[in-house]
Amino acid sequence: VSTQSTGTRLSNAEIQYIVDGVEQDFRSDGRGAEDYRQIELETRILPNTNGSARCKLGKTEVLVGVKAEVVDVDVHAPHIGKLVITADCSAVASPKFVGKGSEVLENDLSNVLSFLYNSTNTIRLKDLCIVKGESCWQLHVDVLFVQCGGNLFDVASIALKAALYNTTLPVVKVSGEGIEMEMEVSDDPYHVWKLDVSNCPICITLYQIGGGFAVDPSEEEVACSEGFVHIGVQPNGDMSSMEKAGAGNIDPTTLLEMVEVGVRVGEEIHKQLNKQLDAEKSLAKL
Amino acid sequence: YQRRVRAPHKRTRVIASQDEDLEKHIVTPGDVITQNLDFMKSHGTMLGNDNISSTVAGAIHKVDKLVSVRSVSSRYRGEVGDIVVGRVTEVQQKKWKVDCGSRLDCQLQLSSVYLPGNVLRRKNLNDELMMREYFAEGDLICAEVSEVGNLDGMLKIHMRTHEKYGKLPEGVLIKVPSVLIKRSKLHFHRLPCNATVILGSNGFVWVGPHFVPDQPIEVVSMTLRETIARLVNVIKALVAYGVQLFDTIILTGYDISLKYKVKELLKSEVMEHIAQESYEHSQHQTL
């Protein structure tokens, strides 16, 4: 039973019905094992950020804000910028998140989302470098859960990609060398550049339920599940990360099948996500 | 090809409340209802400073000199004779504790339960030790409210006859605001499409195959699974738009939904369409 489950106990009869449904590719609400519910997406909603997005799936609602600041480079990596992802579960989402109740879940989320962007081909951190060896951009990505209804990782990753997609960074003019070096950050709100997010991954979580597996489970389905796997899928079908979590073991053959399905579903979601983001961009003046 | 990622759907207001009232005024806690102290105060009202004010958020109901405020969502408050669907939470000495979505768990006495084989007899020590064999923690049951506690409002439930009360087999449970379950004579509906819908007055709605308690049911076929899923989605659509549930409106919604695939019923526009048309259809029928 994972940290995500609400602890609802189901009767054996209900569990049997749900498991049979998943194994026959026809779940309690008519979805197939590979079907996501409706995902609602809005971007550029937080005016005091460099980029933002809001994503809603079922009962889960997430806000992501990206803020950029100029910092000194890391001594061990002087030619790249920094990406810091932190997750926060608001007490508004659930009474069990009051005080320190959400610490474990927040750590899980931050780690999984950071791990998603760990590979070098997901986001070009070189682009964030301003002066090699001196200064770079540090992007603070804050993921705030306003409502928790399961499938947190997937929703957060989609909102994260959407927020990065519309993140704008001011152009920095560097003049001079050595001690006389001057950095001028442009004031002009239209003199900006955008990150290349064409390779950014999203997380597809597959839950093992009985002899089958499914994406985007309802709360009842999570209560019937054993282990689950987070797969970081990039738009071109590459896998950027994989993590197995939850209590319960997964058969190696099932794992290979899950990866195949995860990548296929991920590619499809990427296509639709890009379509929606492009559609939104065409509405905006910028 | 299903459109999964989209912009937020613009939600319309709740379609309508089902009651014909004299005044449909909405209040929030603390709002003044009337300065006239002649009125008799009922649920949801209190005596404020020289006025009658509301204690809950909801609509005012005035019947002659009686004024009350009915809140939109409140915990189920049980009445004798209500049929409820509940989940067993504890097995105690000689009784089970059942979660019905009210303020306190309900009590189901061992003495008010039919044993397998349609037997109602005095329970002995052996039966007491075997309680978990009948209902274990997590099981869904259907029962009737026999008593409402005076002081704390705790409900006592029992299983009066054998044909419909008892443990529920394979199926789907949906939790719905209890205020949306229309009070009627029948809550246990054997629908012509081969599925059973139990509209618990406490807001717990169960959809599943036809069954007789304690008798094994056959394996649920794919067609029946589709029917059950369709009914579940129709009920969720009606509830999302605040439409009260009763058997005819669910069947109307079911018929309207037949032109969509089951999983299409999860889309916001389709849900709105089904709720709107079912409600209008039911209004036409009553006229």
pLDDT value at residue B17: 47
Name the burial class of residue B81, with classes exposed (0-12), middle (13-18) and buried (19+) by CB atoms within 10 angstroms of its CB: exposed
Say if residue B273's pLDDT is above 70: yes
**Nearest CB to B222; choose among A10, A26, A36:** A26
Mean pLDDT of A103-120: 90
Question: CA-CA distance, A162 to A46, in Å (whole number)?
Answer: 13
- B52 φ, ψ to 5°? -105, 120
pLDDT value at residue A3: 39
> pLDDT (tens digit, 9 = 90+) per residue, A221-276?
988 888 899 999 999 999 989 999 888 888 889 999 999 999 999 999 999 999 99
pLDDT value at residue A185: 86
The mean pLDDT value of chain B amounts to: 86
**Helix/strand/coil for B106:** strand
Say if residue A6's pLDDT is above 70: no
Token representation of residue A143: 């993921």
* Partners of A85 in the β-ladder: A141
Longest dimension (CA), chain B: 65
Q: Is A272 on the interface with B (CB under 8 A)?
A: yes
Say if residue B270's pLDDT is above 60: yes
Which residue of A38, A151, A219 is the best one to mutate when testing the B interface, meaning the one whose CB has the most B CBs within 10 A?
A: A38
CA distance A8 to chain B (A): 9
Q: Directed axis angle between helix B222-240 and helix B268-286, to 10°?
A: 80
Band of the pLDDT at B50, cuts 50, 70, 90? confident
Token representation of residue B108: 């189901």
CA distance B124 to chain A (A): 26
| Cα-based angle B232, B238, B242 (whole degrees, multiple of 5) | 140
pLDDT value at residue B265: 94
| Cα-based angle A223, B220, A59 (whole degrees, multiple of 5) | 35
> pLDDT (tens digit, 9 = 90+) per residue, A167-225?
999 999 888 887 778 888 888 888 899 999 999 999 999 999 988 999 999 888 988 88
List Cβ<8 Å contacts ≥24 apart for B20-24. B21/B59, B21/B60, B21/B61, B21/B62, B22/B62, B22/B63, B23/B60, B23/B61, B23/B62, B24/B59, B24/B60
**Cβ-defined contact of A56 to B8 (cutoff 8 Å):** yes
* Partners of B199 in the β-ladder: B205
> pLDDT (tens digit, 9 = 90+) per residue, A17-75?
999 999 999 999 999 999 999 999 999 999 999 999 999 998 899 999 999 999 999 99
Token representation of residue A36: 């996501």
pTM here is 0.85
Band of the pLDDT at A4, cuts 50, 70, 90? very low
pLDDT value at residue A96: 79
Number of H helices and E strands in chain A, helices first, is: 5, 14
**Cβ-defined contact of A11 to B262 (cutoff 8 Å):** no
> pLDDT (tens digit, 9 = 90+) per residue, B128-185?
778 888 899 999 999 999 999 988 889 999 997 777 888 999 999 999 999 889 888 8
CB atoms closer than 10 angstroms to residue B8: 13
A14 contacts in B (CB within 8 Å)?
140, 170-173
